[in-house]
Structure 1
Amino acid sequence: MDYMEINRANWNSRVPVHVGSDFYDVEGFVAGRSPLRSFERAEVGDVSGRRLAHLQCHIGLDTLAWARLGAEVTGLDFSAAAVAQAESIAARCGLPARFVTADVYDAAEKLGRGAYDIVYTGVGALVWLPDLTRWAQTVAALLKPGGFLYIAEFHPFPDILDEATGATLKHDYFDREPQVWVEPHTYTGGEELEHQTSVQFLHGLGDVVSAVGAAGLRVEFLHEHDFTLFQRFATLEAADGGYRIPDGAPRLPLMYSLRACAAGAP
């Protein structure tokens, strides 16, 4: 199974649907809206004048949001269609940015070893990678001494629960077999996709932390959050631009964020 080509075709199909969707709201972004969550901006800190690489950047909205905050940004994605849209949006916004089409595992060679103060990866990215150890080694190779990795991601724990209530154990947390999905629509809705098959890889929180540590990066924090960006379970309620478990009910970790630093002085 060539997971890379299957997923590339799937994501190429998603690009025009995403660009025209209310979910991504490209026109709103061009007008000044930021897709970055407040906790991301707070945890990453001031990016003015810092070199930031965004791995698996898709159509580049998060990448360009960091550019608006003063970072010198480079985005990388394996979908040429997504990169073309990212370049177009950057031009419309008048934002300086570099976008590269490449496999994430080739990022160090394509973007430059030891060239970045920050490597950023946003929500929904890690499930597309079969090998977190190799990914973390790639991140470490990109970072300058004293630079850091920042991850904002969906927590893996909710993936084992039933979709209706989030109250019943339904899946095996430790199942690491590739998951093949055939879905006619992407998560933004819209028209049917031309290529509907995708391959995803589940990773536990321990898998992520262990891979980062094995690559020589020192974890500064791992924060688990009780909110998410979409209605993961029917019982979640809209709150503060996201979704939470109703007040009074036992809470679950729905997202997490991690920051890990490379050795040496910046």
Structure 2
Amino acid sequence: MTAQIDPEARLAELNARFRGYARHLAEEQLRHWSPKGISDLDDEAFVEQVTDELFALITREDVIVMPPDERRMLDLFGFGRVQEVLTEVNVDTVTFGVHGYVWGHEVAEALGWDAANFAEWARDQWKWDLVTQREEDVQTGTVGWECIRHHPMRVDVWQGEGRSDDHYVDGRMSGPITRYWCDLYLIHTDRIMSMMLNSPWGKEFMDSVIPLMSHAMRASGLEERAKDVPTYRTHVNSLGEVETEVAGSLADMFARDREGISEEEARRRAFRGPVTPSSEEP
């Protein structure tokens, strides 16, 4: 006789397991940030807060916490590498997806992005996620989460130089340096391109990746569909007047971006990382 499985008991068991995974990841962050400084929370309160946020994300989306030695390392197009801490999983086939979540501050550190500037960018992105999600919800008549790709942990940790204690005078910290009390963000890996473009390496990254994007436009068929979309340029005539003229199609512009560059070479350029004067191609 097959034993009956109590659905509520099974759900409770799964939730306990998932919360345990979330707590493990929160404790990793505690070990990293406690020596530097955590604002307004003792160690246990910090762990509970981060665990709550992680647990909500894990149970809302099909993601799991991978053991540290099994986590995927993501190549930031040659500008650095970062660890994926949450990985998408297909619960039916028990296979891993191509996306997941990374700690935003780890991406920022790999890219040399000032911590306070990055935190401000992440906060703005989270707000835009909420606006986009609300617009989607109004259309569907539901409350969803699919547009939320930047998740704050709602804790402030010291992300400036040294330890936070080093910056107090007479028991107080004041001035612009207080900007370095920043929240922690988990960011979906489908936002890596956006992070790259907004980082200090944004222009260099864009210059490197444009030829590969052009090849992708052709392969996807989008370039063909852009043949009838005109582009324009302006110039000043002899009378000092600004004139506008057609400068070809959008498809022509895409094609120019890869002119003389093979797909293999475009891929190499996209992942080459920083280009110094001595390494830049003529």
TMscore range, shorter length: under 0.3
**TM-score under structure 1 length normalisation:** 0.21
- Report the structure, 1 or 2, having the larger strand content: 1
- Report the structure, 1 or 2, having the larger helix content: 2
Higher relative contact order (CA 8 A, sep 6+): 1
Flag the structure with larger Rg.
2
